[in-house]
C-alpha cells in the first residue's frame, strides 16, 4: 500500500500512535474486560479518566485556575447558540467580528438570541487580510465580542488577540485549538469542536471564565447551560464517552511530545515549507496576506477549474487525500493540523512540483 496522507479539514487526522493505543485497549480497557464505551460514565474508572484528561489539558494549554473546562455535545454550532444564551443577558447586544464563513454563520445564529452588530474585519482588496483588531472604543457596550481565530475554509488566521478593553472576548477556535500557545486570560469563553485538532467529532471543548457562569437566560436548555454543566462534570446527560477518551489520549500524546510549544514549532515549520513553495512559483496561487496565512489550513489554486479538478484527482491517486477545497471557495485546501507529519507536507510539495511541470 502506498503511504496515505490525509489532508481532510474535519473530521481530520488523529495521531497514529493514539489510534494504535485505542486499538490495543479496545476490548480490555483498564483491565475491565470491556471497552471504554461499555461502562458507566459515572463509575470510578471513567471518572478517573476524565479527571486525568482535564488535568492533562490544563497543563498542556496553560489554562488558569479561574476557568472551568467543559466537554459538551452539539459541536461548534451548538456553541453558536449557547454563547448568546449564556452571556447575552445584561446589555442585550453582542458584537461579532466577521472575517469569513464561520464567523458569519456564528453571527447569524446568535441573532436569534440577542441583538447582533457585525463588523467586517476582512479586507479583500487584493489579498485577504484582517486589518482591524482594536475595538476597545466600542466593545464595552456589548455583553461580549465574538470572533473566529482561524477561518477553516479560506485559511485566514488571526494571530494577535483583538483588543476589546474590559469587554468579554469569545473565540471559536475549532480549527486552531492546541496548535499554538494562547494567552487564555485574555478570553471569557473559548470553544472548539474536537474533530479538527483534538480527536473525533461528537465532543466540544468549552473553556469558560468562572465569573461568566451562572447568568444564563432562564429558558436555556440544561445541556447548553454552562452553570448546570459545570456543576455536573459536563454530565447532565450521557456524554460521548469514546470521543472523550480519545481526546484524552491526544492530550497525553501532545504532552509526551514536548507540549504545545513543540507542537507550535512543528506546525510553523510545516506551514512555512508549504507557503515558501507557494511563494516560489506562479503556477499555484494563495490569496491570503502573509500575516494572516493559516498554519492549519493552507488554500491554493491553479489558474482554472479543470486544472484544479485534475490536481485533486491525481493527488488522490498518489495517496494525498482530501485536498479539494470547500465548496463555497473551490480550489484546493491542505489541512495540516497537529497530527500531520512533516513528511506529508514534503510529499505534497513533491507532488505539486511534478504536477506543475507536467501541466505548465
Ligand X SMILES: *Cc1c(COP(=O)(O)O)cnc(C)c1O
In the complex, the residues that contact ligand X under the rule CB under 6 A are 10, 75-77, 102, 148, 152, 172, 174-175, 193, 196
Residue nearest to ligand X (CB): 75
Strands (E) across the chain are located at 5-6, 67-72, 93-98, 115-120, 122-123, 129-130, 145-148, 150-151, 156-157, 169-172, 189-193, 204-209, 297-300, 320-321, 332-335
Residue 76, annotated ligand binder?
yes
In the numeric block, which cell numbers belong to residue 197? 485538532
Residue 304, annotated ligand binder?
no
- Indicate which residue of 29, 56, 102, 143 is catalytic: 102
The smaller minimum CB distance to ligand X, of residues 54 and 172, is found at 172
CA 267, CA 13: separation in Å to the nearest integer?
14
CB of 283 to ligand X, least distance (A): 28
Q: Report the C-alpha dihedral over residues 304, 305, 306, 310, rounded to 10 degrees.
A: 100
Which of 296, 260, 266, 215 is CA-nearest to residue 63?
260
Which residues 6+ apart lie within 8 Å of 265 measured at CB?
none
CA 2, CA 315: separation in Å to the nearest integer?
12
Residue 69 phi, psi (nearest 5):
-110, 120
The smaller minimum CB distance to ligand X, of residues 284 and 325, is found at 325
Which of 259, 108, 84 is CA-nearest to residue 189?
84
How many other β-carbons are positioned within 10 Å of the β-carbon of residue 65?
Answer: 7
CB of 132 to ligand X, least distance (A): 20
Which residues 6+ apart lie within 8 Å of 58 measured at CB?
69
CB of 199 to ligand X, least distance (A): 12
Residue 360, annotated ligand binder?
no
The smaller minimum CB distance to ligand X, of residues 75 and 240, is found at 75
Place of cell 513533491: 350
Residue 2, annotated ligand binder?
no
Catalytic: 324?
no
Residue 172, annotated ligand binder?
yes
CB of 40 to ligand X, least distance (A): 26
Residue 218, annotated ligand binder?
no
CB of 160 to ligand X, least distance (A): 17
Catalytic: 244?
no
The smaller minimum CB distance to ligand X, of residues 206 and 347, is found at 206
Catalytic: 29?
no
- Indicate which residue of 56, 143, 172, 176 is catalytic: 172
Which positions make up the binding site? 42, 76-77, 102, 152, 172, 195, 237-238
Which positions make up the binding site for pyridoxal 5'-phosphate? 76-77, 102, 152, 172, 195, 237-238
Active centre residues (catalytic) = 102, 172, 196
Which positions make up the binding site for L-glutamate? 42
Amino acid at each position: 500500500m502506498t503511504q496515505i496522507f490525509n489532508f481532510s479539514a474535519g473530521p481530520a487526522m488523529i495521531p497514529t500512535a493514539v489510534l494504535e493505543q485505542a486499538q490495543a485497549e479496545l476490548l480490555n480497557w483498564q483491565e475491565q474486560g470491556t471497552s471504554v464505551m461499555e461502562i458507566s460514565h459515572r463509575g470510578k474508572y471513567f471518572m478517573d479518566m476524565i479527571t486525568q484528561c482535564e488535568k492533562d489539558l490544563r497543563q498542556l494549554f496553560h489554562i488558569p485556575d479561574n476557568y472551568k473546562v467543559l466537554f459538551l455535545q452539539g459541536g461548534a454550532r451548538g456553541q453558536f447558540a449557547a454563547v448568546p444564551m449564556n452571556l447575552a443577558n445584561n446589555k442585550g447586544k453582542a458584537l461579532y467580528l466577521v472575517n469569513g464563513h464561520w464567523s458569519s454563520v456564528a453571527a447569524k445564529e446568535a441573532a436569534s438570541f440577542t441583538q447582533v452588530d457585525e463588523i467586517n474585519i476582512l479586507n479583500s482588496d487584493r489579498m485577504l487580510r484582517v486589518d482591524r483588531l482594536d475595538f476597545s472604543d466600542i466593545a464595552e457596550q456589548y455583553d461580549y465580542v465574538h470572533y473566529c481565530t482561524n477561518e477553516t475554509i479560506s485559511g485566514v488566521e488571526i494571530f494577535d488577540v483583538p483588543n476589546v478593553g474590559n469587554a468579554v472576548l469569545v473565540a471559536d477556535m475549532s480549527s486552531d485549538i492546541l496548535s499554538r500557545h494562547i494567552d487564555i486570560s485574555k478570553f471569557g469563553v473559548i470553544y472548539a469542536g474536537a474533530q479538527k485538532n483534538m480527536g473525533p467529532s461528537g465532543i466540544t471543548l468549552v473553556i469558560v471564565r468562572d465569573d461568566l457562569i451562572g447568568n444564563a437566560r432562564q429558558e436555556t436548555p440544561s445541556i447548553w447551560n454552562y452553570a448546570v454543566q459545570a456543576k455536573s462534570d459536563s454530565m447532565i446527560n450521557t456524554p460521548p464517552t469514546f470521543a472523550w477518551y480519545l481526546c484524552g489520549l491526544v492530550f497525553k500524546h501532545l504532552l509526551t511530545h514536548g507540549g504545545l510549544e513543540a507542537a507550535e514549532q512543528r506546525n510553523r515549520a510545516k506551514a512555512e515549507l508549504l507557503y515558501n513553495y507557494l511563494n516560489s512559483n506562479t503556477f499555484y496561487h494563495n490569496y491570503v496576506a502573509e500575516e494572516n496565512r493559516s498554519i492549519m489550513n493552507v488554500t491554493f489554486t491553479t489558474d482554472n477549474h479543470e486544472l484544479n479538478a485534475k490536481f485533486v484527482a491525481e493527488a488522490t491517486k498518489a495517496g494525498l487525500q482530501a485536498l479539494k477545497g470547500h465548496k463555497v471557495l473551490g480550489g484546493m485546501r491542505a489541512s495540516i493540523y497537529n497530527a500531520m507529519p512533516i513528511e506529508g507536507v514534503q510529499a505534497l510539495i513533491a507532488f505539486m512540483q511534478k504536477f506543475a511541470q507536467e501541466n505548465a
